[in-house]
Structure 1
Amino acid sequence: MMLATVSISAMAQNEGEKSNSKEEGNRNVMLNAASANGPREIQIGLPSADVNVLENGLPVTYATNPHSVNTLWRGDASLSHQGLLKIAETAITTGNIGYAVNSFTKLGQKGFNGTLNYKSNHFGLQEFSLNMNGDMGKDWYYSVNMYQDFDPGTFKIKSTPYQDRTQIYKALITKRYNNNAGEFTLGYKYSNSHNVYNYATQSAPFIYVGDGSVKEYGKFKLGTTSYLPTENTMTYRNMRTGELEQTTLYDACLNKSSELTLMNKYHWDNGLDWMVMARYDHSRGAMVYQTPMALVDLKSQDNEGLYDYKYRGLDGKVNSYDGQYVQSRMSCLNAGTIDECLFTSELTKKFSRSTLRLGINEWFYNIDYCSNTTMYDQSVPADGTYALRLWDANKRDSYFYDFNKNASEYYKGHENKLALYLTHDWDMTDKLNLYYGARLEWQSLKGENAAVKNADGNFVGRFADYHLGATAPDGTLIAPADLSYDWINYDFSVAATYKMTKNFGLTGDFTYIVQHPKFEAFAPATMPNTNKISVPLGRVGIYYNNQWLSLTSMFSYISKTNNNSTLNLQHGSEIKAAPLSYDIQTWGWTTDAVMHPFKGFDFHCLFTYQKPTYKKFETSVTFNDGYTGNINATGNIVAEIPEILIELDPSYMITKDIKLWTSFRYFSKTYANINEAYYFNGHWETFGGVNWQVNKRLALGCTVVNFLNQTGAKGSIAGAELITKDEAKGIKNQIMTGSYLRPFTVEFTASLKF
């Protein structure tokens, strides 16, 4: 299931620095308030697409659903470099909009070199990363790496042994030739990951007070109490075969990948450089959403006596449930068998005042994917104990129901992108730098999905026990539908920096991207909007640099047309999927400053004000009782997105070997549903720590996450999309479900070089 999320970014790029740099700094990409071991998402004011992470010039994964970045990439000892590509660079070289984490694998060097990294936290995380590299004589080199992660999360869940269990192994052999002018590398990587916490565990009940604040529900502690039932099995109906099958949460999250990589670099004395990167990956990608839906008050006047919930005790006996609340959950078991073949080559020529680059991408992606959905009900334990799975004896005699009814997905086939791109970074004068580039891309998509039309020409929505070969209530046979598309996409970018004085100057850039839907957009029950997706991004501002200050201030505009999304709308206990296509636009002002007021002290601060709004955001769905749920959010502030963002990052070198640092991130008020009915007050995300370089071989560190110990909810409220402002006015101190802030965490790190 593809859930629509939206986010916003501070867009400063430190343009006062040398403008031909492909990367920018000061973003702390691995300092993450949402994950203990993944890169931070740098938000840009648009619905979040794939998190771009590159390794050796190629995307770590072509599509993050169902193969998420964290299952096959970590910022571990195997990497020689990590940076953050600028938006323009990402657009031209990959065709995607947004920042991208840029990383390179550590290759063998002369002698023997080793690095052992260790990380732990007070919840029991154990993370190890070991790299060893060296030479084998006659210009042959090796590099091997092992990564092991045992992460129980911030609370124990009895349905799986870990919330993250990941293994990654890498081995590379390098031949340097022609007096080190050339370098050829053959690499292999194997990864095995059960990544549960990303989508299954990030929800909890709380009391919504009514003024943007929340308080705890009974003894349930946000972030440190499990909201998952203890039972390990899930029953679902296979979308492909129609058979009822069983799996466990841990097994359903299994990701496996085998990758073969070829890299070649060559440098000529005339300033010409040639780079070739190629990778073949055969993998199983998988993720499980356990999305909270309806929250029913059994003891309200409207529901008194309508339900008869039961549960099975440890002794096997059937018992009546006497709790007040029942939570329904939709489990989406996303999985696909994937073959990727990615190839990128670049020629770069350096002249006295400019650098010219010509590149080509040939990216092939083949997938057989489906998302089997299943519903179940659970208790809402006010005493903070583990939840129980329940069933309503008035309706059924088992836990699981509505197989594939709501958000089941299917597609099979391949997508191919062939692109040519060019960039030119030119110091036209000592005062004026001009950077421009363009990308021309052919996107071809061919395969099948399950968007089936009936005799009237309307798409058949999902229904209970939906699968290929099933018969719909109106008599339509559900059979795969062929699809085939060919599109031309293009991007261009231009940036200019003019130095008015030695310290002060003007800067601006404009990037325009034209895309079309990716293969995954064809997964739901209806066809997506296949019109072009256009993304213009323009910025203009000033910069000022001196010995102790580097400052950039910019106004920006970004928009995107034809965002394809699916909302799961809820009325009573019924859930309906509502597809829609909408536009979004964001105006913003960002000021980014790095200060060095005195020796040993650095201070980075970033302020962003923005106004992200929906455009043409309208959809409706009719439920079985005849009620029509309408949403018209045109002009509304984008849900989950703050209008003010502040980042404060001071650090101080106590001695030449000991660094004390903190990082504060402020997010202002955010709306928790599309109709602006519910909202959460602003909050701080805080980090702090000390790093000690004990000697040239040993480094130690201690980091505290959320050291202000703020607790509360964030994101959206489950099942609340149809609630209007008028309806929400009278809602006070009501139990609801949503996601939460990462709890107080103490982390310890050690790095040993040998």
Structure 2
Amino acid sequence: MRTKMLFPCTMIAVWTSGLLSVASAQTVTDSVNVKKADGSERNVMLNASDATKPREIQIGLPSEDVNVYENGLPAVYSSAVHKLQYHWRSDASLGEVGLMSPSESAIRTGNIAYSVDSYSKLGQKEFKGILNYRANHFGMQQFDLNVSGGIGDKWLYSGSVYQNFDPGSFEAKFDEYTDRMQMYRAGITRLLGNKGKISLQYKYAYSRNTGNELNAAPFIYVGDGSIKEIPGFEPGLASYGPASGEIEYMDVMDGKMKKANLRDLADNRSHEIALLTDYTFDNGAKWSLNMKYMNAPEANYVDFGGSTISELSVEDGYTLADGTPYSGLVEGRRTWLHFGKVQNFLITSELEKRFGNHQLRFGLNEWYYYLDYHSSSFQWVGSVKEYPDILTASDGSRFYGFNELSPEYTVGSENKLAVYVTDNWQISPKLNFYYGGRLEYYRMSADQVAHSRYSGFYIGGTAPDGEVITPANVTKDKLNYAATAQLTYNMTKHFGLTADATVATRFPRINEYAGTGPTEEQYKRVTIPLIRGGLFYKNSWIDLTSMVTYIAKTNNIDQQNLTKPGTSEGKTVLLIYDIQTLGWTTSAEIDPFKGFHLHALFTYQKPVYKNYSAGVTFNDGTQMSVNANNMIVKEIPQILVELDPSYNITKDLRLWLSFRYFGKTYANLQEALYFNGRWETFGGINWSVNKHLDLGVSVVNFLNQKGAKGTISGSELITKEEASKYAGCYMSGSYLRPFTVEFSASIKF
């Protein structure tokens, strides 16, 4: 493709023109018992990136996965293919939603992260029902119903229906909704006197989230950390996806050319059956055994990406669908089609017993995961406007570069068999010692393709070097471990010291073999140590904690598309590197006068890359490299501020606000490009009209903040010395939701 460059830049970023909330605050508060752990539940259900899942709480490392647990088991085993929001929502079927600390999560699950811990409503002897309704001024309608009660003296039942019809903040054209979700649950419980209960639950979920692929918009990178809108295109209120979802791609499984519509490539269906058991013995020991089988015969989604925005002339030979010659701005667009089938069988059992000053817990995980997954990729040239045209090249083609950019394939399973133990030891009235350990046998068996990708790549095809593309099996048997220790000393009635250390390890997972995967030399243990220490102060109106934190991660695996600057040519490379973060966090829960509460948090952190270097050779023989050693990790801000005030005007009327500040973040690997800090804001008012009716109004992004965050794809090879060249560059990227007014009602009966 011959082009005349407007600017020598190849970029993708994330537009910040708004915020999202998973569930309105009144819905969470009124229908779900919010458990607090590690100081606060921290508004995990107010997500500034995605309205369909909890937000990620920063710990100084890039997120590996969204960590949500339901009844002691992963809501989804992995979000790498079967996304969390396709199978789980915070709805009226949940009785409790809390937050596990990174230390607790490491022992119970093997992963260091803040993890959402949710539990289902099982019912009670009297009949109860709740109907939640939400809507916004863009036309979203959400219905959420739960009914529960008793049958005789020994049986309980619970049933739920969740329906979401969200057209998004603009018309998608090829789909009437950007998020269509329906979920049905039914459960029955047998009471075992006053000793315990056994529950059997079934869940069916269907989801189609085309908003995932339409989350892009063009704009101008000014060069000082800010952006400007392109005239005639307001991100968040205009679609950067084609009006027609008709596409053509090469199936990576057999090399055949196929036609499809994007709307039909995002279907997700799943079935789940769970058995939940708990029992209290005469000696006070509490035992639980929870297990579930989940089958998702369709776990599909579509990803869009972009590259260079350039300018075409009529002489370049591109035309519109009707044959009219095209001249003007264009962008090389990239599309990935993901197809998956997922099954898992998960068991978690725990036994708790108090012995004097010791609260002991013994646990077991048996988690089996099966994955059958592949993806196909293709590229196209699109005009830069709302509902861009898919242009036709002079040879008559509309799509090209089939399976050149990181198509993936893996079929296989992984199994985790783990035992863990924790002890909460109250040594004295002033001194507490919490410690625990986890030992996990990990087995992975995966069919994967280690050959580098090329245009026309498919299973069974012949590569340019003559090799036939054939999957090969990789099997690994390893031991992972985790350990934690926390010491808390109350020096006075109000003041004390606390320190803890946690470490967790793992080996590469099955989804990390979907690309070329690590070689035998690259297959190394991933180790994550977390060390914290500080002081706390508590009295009748303030609960204050201030801590210094160190966290690191070795042998992190990342698959990167490295783009040659100024072109749309990209190469996929596998990177293995380390990250280290040193930070200081102060958090407070403040109640200065009756009816008013404030949660405040301040964090300063410095996350840096270690051992991060890679090289790439492009089609013309040009060799380029990236070296990010000791540079700030992209996308992670160094300064974080959270302010969450609320005030009960009367006992029935509550006003709440949530402010989050994310400081300057680097948008590429070598600190060349960055985005300014931004505020994310939520607010609302909740009115308990009577014991049967609650009403609420909330506003997302009430300050109407605009800016950008995230990664500028294609900028990995740009250095600080070259940064000034990119001032005024046209680029495209993902955006967040614009200013949004939401209405809610909750009826209890």
For normalisation by structure 2, the TM-score amounts to 0.93
Hey, what's the Cα distance between the residues in 2 that align with 1:130 and 1:704? 23
Task: Report the CA distance shift for 1:694/1:95 in structure 2 as closer, same or farther (over 3 A).
Answer: same
Given the alignment, which residue of 173, 182, 187 partners 2:201? 187
Q: Secondary structure at the match of 1:662?
A: strand
Letter in 2 for 1:271: G
Aligned residue number for residue 118 of structure 2: 103
Task: Report the CA distance shift for 1:368/1:141 in structure 2 as closer, same or farther (over 3 A).
Answer: same
Which whole-Å deviations, capped at 9, do the CAs of 1:78-105 have from their partners, x for residues lacking one? 0000011111111101111201101001
The correspondence of residues 705-744 of structure 1 with structure 2, limited to 5 A, is 705-744=700-739
Given the alignment, which residue of 348, 353, 356 partners 2:352? 348
Aligned residue number for residue 478 of structure 2: 487
Q: Does 1:441 align with 2:440?
A: yes
Hey, what's the Cα distance between the residues in 2 that align with 1:711 and 1:70? 26
Task: Report the CA distance shift for 1:653/1:245 in structure 2 as closer, same or farther (over 3 A).
Answer: same
Q: Secondary structure at the match of 1:320?
A: coil
Q: Does 1:614 align with 2:609?
A: yes
Aligned residue number for residue 390 of structure 1: 391
Q: Does 1:532 align with 2:525?
A: yes
Aligned residue number for residue 549 of structure 2: 556
RMSD of equivalent CA atoms: 1.6
Letter in 2 for 1:408: P
Q: Does 1:332 align with 2:333?
A: no
Shift of 1:517: 0.8
Shift of 1:180: 2.5
Shift of 1:630: 0.7
Hey, what's the Cα distance between the residues in 2 that align with 1:720 and 1:259? 42
Hey, what's the Cα distance between the residues in 1 that align with 2:735 and 2:707? 6
Aligned residue number for residue 81 of structure 2: 66
Gaps of 5+ in 2: 1-11, 15-34
Q: Secondary structure at the match of 1:319?
A: coil
CA contact (8 A) 1:446 1:484 kept: yes
The correspondence of residues 458-469 of structure 1 with structure 2, limited to 5 A, is 460-469=451-460
Hey, what's the Cα distance between the residues in 1 that align with 2:358 and 2:745? 42
Hey, what's the Cα distance between the residues in 1 that align with 2:581 and 2:608? 6
Shift of 1:511: 0.4
Q: Does 1:592 align with 2:587?
A: yes
The correspondence of residues 226-245 of structure 1 with structure 2, limited to 5 A, is 226-245=239-258
Aligned residue number for residue 309 of structure 1: 318
Hey, what's the Cα distance between the residues in 2 that align with 1:691 and 1:193? 30
Given the alignment, which residue of 634, 638, 659 partners 1:664? 659
Aligned residue number for residue 94 of structure 2: 79
Aligned residue number for residue 318 of structure 1: 323
Hey, what's the Cα distance between the residues in 2 that align with 1:567 and 1:481? 23
Q: Secondary structure at the match of 2:462?
A: coil
Letter in 2 for 1:708: L
Aligned residue number for residue 132 of structure 1: 147
CA contact (8 A) 1:712 1:740 kept: no
CA contact (8 A) 2:13 2:710 kept: no
Shift of 1:111: 2.0
CA contact (8 A) 1:712 1:741 kept: no
Which whole-Å deviations, capped at 9, do the CAs of 1:273-319 have from their partners, x for residues lacking one? 110010001102222111112322336xxxx94x322121xxxx222
Aligned residue number for residue 29 of structure 2: none
CA contact (8 A) 2:13 2:734 kept: no
Aligned residue number for residue 143 of structure 1: 158
CA contact (8 A) 2:41 2:99 kept: no
Aligned residue number for residue 236 of structure 2: 223
Shift of 1:130: 0.4
Which whole-Å deviations, capped at 9, do the CAs of 1:698-726 have from their partners, x for residues lacking one? 11111111101011221122322222222
Q: Secondary structure at the match of 1:318?
A: coil
Q: Secondary structure at the match of 1:311?
A: coil
Letter in 1 for 2:141: Q
Q: Does 1:693 align with 2:688?
A: yes
Hey, what's the Cα distance between the residues in 2 that align with 1:229 and 1:520? 30
Which whole-Å deviations, capped at 9, do the CAs of 1:62-88 have from their partners, x for residues lacking one? 110211111111110000000111111
Aligned residue number for residue 294 of structure 2: 281
Which deviates the most, 357-366 or 247-256? 247-256
Hey, what's the Cα distance between the residues in 1 that align with 2:625 and 2:679? 34
Q: Secondary structure at the match of 2:224?
A: coil
Which deviates the most, 163-172 or 38-47? 38-47
The correspondence of residues 38-77 of structure 1 with structure 2, limited to 5 A, is 38-77=53-92
Shift of 1:426: 1.0
Shift of 1:574: 1.2
Aligned residue number for residue 284 of structure 2: 271
Aligned residue number for residue 312 of structure 2: 298
Which whole-Å deviations, capped at 9, do the CAs of 1:421-454 have from their partners, x for residues lacking one? 0000111100001100100000001131111xxx
CA contact (8 A) 1:261 1:278 kept: yes
Shift of 1:738: 2.0
CA contact (8 A) 1:347 1:359 kept: yes
Aligned residue number for residue 511 of structure 2: 520
Shift of 1:740: 2.7
Name the structure, 1 or 2, with higher relative contact order (CA <8 Å, separation 6+). Answer: 2
Which deviates the most, 730-739 or 565-574? 730-739
Aligned residue number for residue 475 of structure 1: 466
Hey, what's the Cα distance between the residues in 1 that align with 2:304 and 2:91? 29
Which deviates the most, 434-443 or 213-222? 213-222
CA contact (8 A) 2:299 2:342 kept: yes
Q: Does 1:749 align with 2:748?
A: no
Which deviates the most, 332-341 or 420-429? 332-341
CA contact (8 A) 1:713 1:741 kept: no
Letter in 2 for 1:658: L
Letter in 2 for 1:463: Y
Letter in 2 for 1:438: G
Aligned residue number for residue 374 of structure 2: 370
Letter in 1 for 2:231: G
CA contact (8 A) 1:24 1:83 kept: no
Letter in 2 for 1:392: A
CA contact (8 A) 1:711 1:741 kept: no
CA contact (8 A) 1:294 1:570 kept: no
CA contact (8 A) 2:13 2:711 kept: no
Q: Secondary structure at the match of 1:343?
A: strand
Aligned residue number for residue 119 of structure 1: 134
Aligned residue number for residue 457 of structure 1: none
Shift of 1:4: 14
CA contact (8 A) 2:13 2:709 kept: no
Aligned residue number for residue 31 of structure 2: none
CA contact (8 A) 1:711 1:740 kept: no
Aligned residue number for residue 642 of structure 1: 637
CA contact (8 A) 2:125 2:153 kept: no
Letter in 1 for 2:554: T
CA contact (8 A) 1:715 1:738 kept: no
Shift of 1:24: 4.2
Which deviates the most, 514-523 or 736-745? 736-745
